[in-house]
Amino acid sequence: NTINFLFFVCYRALIFPLLIREGKPTPFFTFVLALLFCAFNGYLQGRSLTTYATYPPGWLGGSRFITGFLGWLIGMAINIHSDHILRNLRKPGETGYKIPRGGMFEYVSGANFFGEILEWFGFALACCTIESFAFALCTLFILSSRARQHHK
């Protein structure tokens, strides 16, 4: 579970920013708030998994862990694929609004948000900690509101 979490954090913090094309600049205050939130959440998740969480023998082979891990993996794949579609919406120099097509965008207008929500609920199911569930709920509330805004 710690490896799953670290993989996502590395993707989101190191790889994803390098793949983004030019776009609107992020306000510094927003950047600082996001950085603080991610640092606090990373500490909270890491600390709970390495210090407080205890699992019975055979947990990794159990249905909760396997279902959660598959949810996390599928959510991550949807998230990465949706980010790829969004990055390639416009050709260089193009401006204006474009509706994303393909992948999960055929079923939901905020496919990237849907993927990340699925990812964190899968992580919460695999970990079964109050901290991972709290983060999944925060992700649901924050991203569903952003998804609704983007849909409009």
The domain total for the chain is 1
pTM check: above 0.75: yes
Rounded distance between C-alpha atoms, residue 57 and residue 100, angstroms: 45
Whether 131 has a pLDDT exceeding 70, the answer reads yes
**Among 107, 92, 84, which Cα is nearest to 23's?**
92
| pLDDT of 77 | 95
| pLDDT of 17 | 64
| pLDDT of 47 | 92
Residue 15 lies in a domain: no
- At residue 6 the predicted structure's pLDDT band, cuts being 50, 70 and 90, is low
Q: Write the pLDDT tens digit of every residue in 20-70.
A: 666 666 778 877 787 788 788 888 888 999 999 999 999 999 999 999 999
Residue 93 lies in a domain: yes
Q: Write the pLDDT tens digit of every residue in 83-105.
A: 899 888 878 777 777 889 999 99
Distances from the Cα of 54 to the Cαs of 10, 24, 59, 116, in angstroms?
Answer: 25, 44, 10, 26
Residue 90 lies in a domain: yes
Rounded distance between C-alpha atoms, residue 56 and residue 140, angstroms: 29
Residue 7 lies in a domain: no
Residue 107 lies in a domain: yes
Rounded distance between C-alpha atoms, residue 73 and residue 65, angstroms: 12
Residue 112 lies in a domain: yes
Residue 141 lies in a domain: yes
Percent of the chain having pLDDT more than 70? 83
Domain of residue 68 covers: 63-151
| pLDDT of 33 | 83
Residue 53 lies in a domain: no
Mean pLDDT in residue range 131-141: 94
